[in-house]
């Protein structure tokens, strides 16, 4: 019998370091930097999510990332630098707008897609002539990369198609025995991945909304555009995504996820009704709702304030994994407004739901009791955002 792909992966001895800001951190960082330089795999914290890093200039080391994650080889990696001064190591040319964005937002949760130098291995860029680059703003990430002395290719540390990893407990579960070093340093502060912008075109394009809001980017690059998928009231996106990662299924918990969008009181009512219906069918379920929601009881998980999207971003992947770990078959999730980090949160949720988005709309009542309305019979929609 042929062994499964996963079973064929060599089990490794994983050195685990819990970093606390003390003196021992330096020893752990020096060790991890050496491992990176020699071609090993190191999981490390960034301000967005944990990354699974390898020497970006070593074809063999980068291949290892793809193997361990089970990542499709057509999905390129982000190259992490410890300083903007190292850009010439990987980028062939840096347009003026990229320089302005870097000056304003690096180190930070922003990734720039730039023309690649020809000596960046094709496996890192998935054969493209561009390279995605980011200078993270997490002291451990920066020290690690500086210590390694090489650019570090690092996708989010999760196994392919699973929710990103933002907490030590799930990192240990998912990656022990698969990588050489795990650097654990608490929960990721931002909690969603970086915003990816293609700066080779005019106007520049947001390829993936993320931890830096589009509102903030617009202050520096007013002409920046979002693909139609992310725009309000868009129905369909006829353009093929230019970020290869968007082709693949993402952030998928094991449970079937349905996302509810619309006025909050109607959304909560629709979720409550659906809960009753599923319970009658003996289907186990979790409800993921905002702090403002009146829904409570068994299986209700609160994920932050719908009016302060950064609180939702920082908890999102953890709550998705917590709810999934409770073993439910279905997850009903409250959508939040697409302002600030709410755009990144909703992008991840639409993907986790694999397009199962229910638009709950008020229906005018003839009795003249105002426009409050009732929750409409939920319908599956095309996945466009509210
Ligand atoms: O916050 C983050 O960005 C985290 C941390 C570890 O830095 N990394 C991360 O990497 O999220 P990953 O591999 O999960 O997502 C990288 C995204 C994918 O959607 C990929 O397709 C896109 O960036 N990307 C990478 N290189 C690209 C390129 N040359 N052109 C267009 N998109 C690119
Ligand atoms: Mg990822």
Residue 371 alpha carbon to ligand 2 centre in Å: 42
Residue 147, in any domain of the structure:
yes
CB 62 within 8 A of CB 153: yes
Q: Which domain holds residue 31?
A: 5-220
Q: 279 C-alpha to center of ligand 2: Å?
A: 34
Do 176 and 269 share a structural domain? no
Model pLDDT, residue 302:
98
Is 156 part of a structural domain of the chain? yes
Show Cβ contacts of residue 176 under 8 Å, excluding neighbours closer than 6 positions. Answer: 14, 16, 182
Ligand 1 close to Cβ of residue 193 (< 6 A): yes
In a domain, 117, yes or no: yes
Task: Give a yes or no: residue 335 inside a domain.
Answer: yes
Reported as a pLDDT band with limits 50, 70 and 90, residue 242 is low
In this prediction the pTM is 0.90
Measure 44 CA to ligand 1 centroid, in angstroms. 16
User: What mean pLDDT comes out for the span 210-226?
Assistant: 96
Cβ(55)–Cβ(153) below 8 Å:
yes
pLDDT at 346: 95
- Judged by its nearest atom, the ligand closest to the C-alpha of residue 116 is 1
Q: Is there a single domain that holds both residue 34 and residue 135?
A: yes
- Judged by DSSP in three states, 85 sits in helix
Nearest alpha-carbon partner for 244 in 368, 338, 126 = 126
Q: Give the ligand with the smallest distance to the CA of 158.
A: 2
216 and 260 in a single domain? The answer is no
- Smallest CA-to-CA distance from 56 within 71, 37, 70 is with 37
Q: Is residue 364 predicted with pLDDT exceeding 70?
A: no
Burial 97-136 (b: 16+ CB within 10 A, else e): bbeebbeebbbbbbbbbbbbbeebbebbbbeeebbbbbbb
CB-ligand 1 contact for 245 (6 Å cutoff): yes
Q: Are residues 145 and 41 in the same domain?
A: yes
Residue 151 CA, ligand 2 centroid: distance in Å: 18
CA 156 – ligand 2 centroid, Å: 4
The answer to whether the CB of 380 falls within 8 A of the CB of 358 is yes
Tell me if residue 110 falls in helix, strand or coil.
strand
Please, where are the H alpha helices in 122-247? 122-125, 139-148, 168-175, 214-220
Give the distance (Å) from ligand 2 centre to CA of residue 98.
23
**Residue 91 three-state SS:** strand
Residues with CB under 5 A from ligand 2 (ion): 156
Residues 175 and 51 in one domain: yes
Q: Cβ distance 208 to 225 under 8 Å?
A: no
User: Is the per-residue pLDDT at 76 higher than 70?
Assistant: yes
Ligand number with the minimum distance to the CA of 241? 1
Distance from C-alpha of 225 to C-alpha of 66, rounded to nearest angstrom: 31
Count other C-beta atoms under 10 Å from residue 241's C-beta. 13
Same domain, 22 and 170: yes
**CATH number where 152 lies:** 3.90.870.10
| pLDDT at position 228 | 61
Shared domain for 187 and 300, answered yes or no, is no
Closest approach atom of ligand 1 to CA 77:
25
pLDDT tens readout for residues 5-56: 555 677 899 999 999 988 889 999 999 999 999 999 999 999 999 999 999 9
Residue 57 domain-assigned (yes or no) = yes
Q: Is 56 in the pocket of ligand 1 (CB under 6 A)?
A: no
Q: In what order do the strands lie in the sheet with 285-289?
A: 300-302, 285-289, 330-334, 256-261, 357-359
Q: Determine what percent of the chain is predicted with pLDDT higher than 70.
A: 86
Mutate to test the pocket of ligand 1, among 47, 62, 76 (most ligand atoms within 8 A of CB): 76
Q: How far apart are CA 358 and CA 14, in angstroms?
A: 43
Q: Is 132 in the pocket of ligand 1 (CB under 6 A)?
A: yes
Share of the chain above pLDDT 90, in %: 81
For position 366, what pLDDT does the model report?
47
Please tell me if the CB atom of residue 130 comes closer than 6 angstroms to any atom of ligand 1. yes
**72 and 163, same domain (yes or no):** yes
Give the pLDDT band of residue 375 (cuts 50, 70, 90): very low
Extract the tokens encoding 374.
């009732």
**Do 17 and 182 meet the contact criterion of CB atoms below 8 Å apart?**
yes
Is ligand 1 within 6 A of the CB of residue 162?
no
Among 220, 239, 265, residue at a domain's last position: 220
- Does residue 385 lie in a domain region? no
CA of 155 to the centre of ligand 1 (A): 6
* Contact assessment for residue 16 and residue 184, using Cβ atoms and an 8 Å cutoff: yes
Residue 91 sits in the same domain as residue 216: yes
pLDDT of residue 3: 52
Compute, in angstroms, the gap from residue 158 CA to the centroid of ligand 2: 7
323 falls within a domain: yes
Task: Please identify, among 193, 220, 247, the residue that sits at the C-terminal boundary of a domain.
Answer: 220
Does residue 154 have its Cβ closer than 6 Å to ligand 1? yes
Q: Give the residue from 171, 197, 220 where a domain finishes.
A: 220
Q: Tokens for 302?
A: 């609160």
CB of 111 sitting under 6 A from ligand 1 = yes
**Do residues 81 and 102 make contact, with C-beta atoms less than 8 angstroms apart?**
no
Closest residue by Cα to atom 3, ligand 1, is 194
User: Which pLDDT score, from 0 to 100, does residue 157 have?
Assistant: 98
Ligand 1: which of 91, 141, 155 to mutate, most ligand atoms within 8 Å of CB?
A: 155
Q: What six digits make up the tokens of 337?
A: 């407004």
Asked if the structure places residue 380 within a domain, the reply is no
Q: Which helix (H) or strand (E) holds 344?
A: helix 342-352
DSSP string for 10-32? PP-PPEEEE--SSTHHHHHHHHH
pLDDT band at 243 (very low <50, low <70, confident <90, very high): low
Q: Are residues 105 and 14 in the same domain?
A: yes
Span 253-276, pLDDT tens digits: 899 999 999 999 999 999 999 999
Same domain? For 120 and 35 the reply is yes
**Would you say the CB of residue 115 lies under 6 angstroms from ligand 1?**
no
Range 219-227 average pLDDT: 93
Tally the domains of the chain: 2
pLDDT tops 80 at residue 342: yes
| CATH number of the domain residue 273 falls in | 3.40.50.11030
Of 34, 36, 86, the residue nearest 64 (C-alpha): 36
Q: Which two tokens stand for residue 137?
A: 């703003």
How confident is the model over 116-175, as pLDDT tens digits?
Answer: 999 999 999 999 999 999 999 999 999 999 999 999 999 999 999 999 999 999 999 999
**Same domain for 210 and 283:** no
The finding on whether 253 has its CB within 6 A of some atom of ligand 1 is no
Interhelix angle 342-352/309-325, nearest 10 degrees = 20
């Amino acid at each position: 019998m042929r062994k499964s792909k996963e079973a064929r992966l060599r089990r490794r001895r994983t050195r685990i370091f819990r970093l606390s800001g003390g003196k021992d951190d330096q020893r752990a960082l020096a060790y991890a930097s050496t491992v990176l330089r020699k071609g090993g795999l190191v999981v490390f914290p960034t301000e967005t999510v944990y990354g699974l890093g390898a020497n970006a200039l070593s074809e063999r080391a980068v291949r290892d990332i793809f193997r361990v994650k089970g990542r499709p080889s057509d999905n390129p990696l982000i190259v992490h630098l410890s300083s903007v001064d190292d850009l010439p190591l990987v980028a062939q040319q840096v347009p003026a707008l990229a320089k302005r964005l870097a000056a304003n937002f690096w180190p930070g949760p922003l990734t720039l897609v730039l023309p690649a130098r020809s000596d960046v291995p094709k496996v890192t860029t998935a054969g493209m002539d561009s390279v995605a680059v980011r200078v993270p703003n997490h002291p451990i990430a920066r020290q690690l990369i500086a210590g390694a002395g090489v650019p570090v290719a690092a996708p989010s540390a999760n196994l392919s198609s699973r929710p990103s990893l933002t907490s030590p407990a799930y990192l240990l579960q998912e990656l022990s025995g698969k990588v050489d070093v795990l650097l654990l340093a608490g929960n990721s502060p931002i909690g969603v991945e970086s915003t990816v912008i293609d700066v080779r075109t005019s106007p520049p394009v947001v390829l993936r909304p993320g931890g830096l809001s589009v509102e903030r980017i617009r202050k520096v690059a007013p002409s920046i555009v979002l693909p139609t998928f992310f725009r309000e009231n868009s129905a369909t996106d006829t353009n093929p995504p230019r970020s290869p990662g968007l082709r693949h299924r993402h952030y998928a918990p094991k449970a079937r996820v349905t996302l509810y969008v619309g006025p909050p009181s109607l959304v909560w009512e629709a979720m409550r009704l659906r809960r009753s219906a599923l319970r009658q069918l003996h289907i186990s379920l979790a409800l993921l709702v905002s702090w403002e929601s009146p829904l409570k009881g068994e299986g209700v998980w609160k994920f932050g304030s719908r009016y302060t999207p950064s609180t939702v971003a920082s908890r999102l992947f953890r709550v998705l994994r917590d709810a999934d770990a409770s073993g439910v078959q279905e997850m009903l999730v409250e959508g939040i407004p697409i302002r600030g980090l709410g755009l990144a949160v909703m992008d991840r949720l639409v993907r986790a739901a694999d397009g199962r988005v229910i638009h709950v709309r008020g229906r005018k009542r003839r009795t003249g009791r105002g426009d409050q309305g009732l929750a409409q019979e939920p319908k599956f929609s095309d996945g466009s955002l509210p």
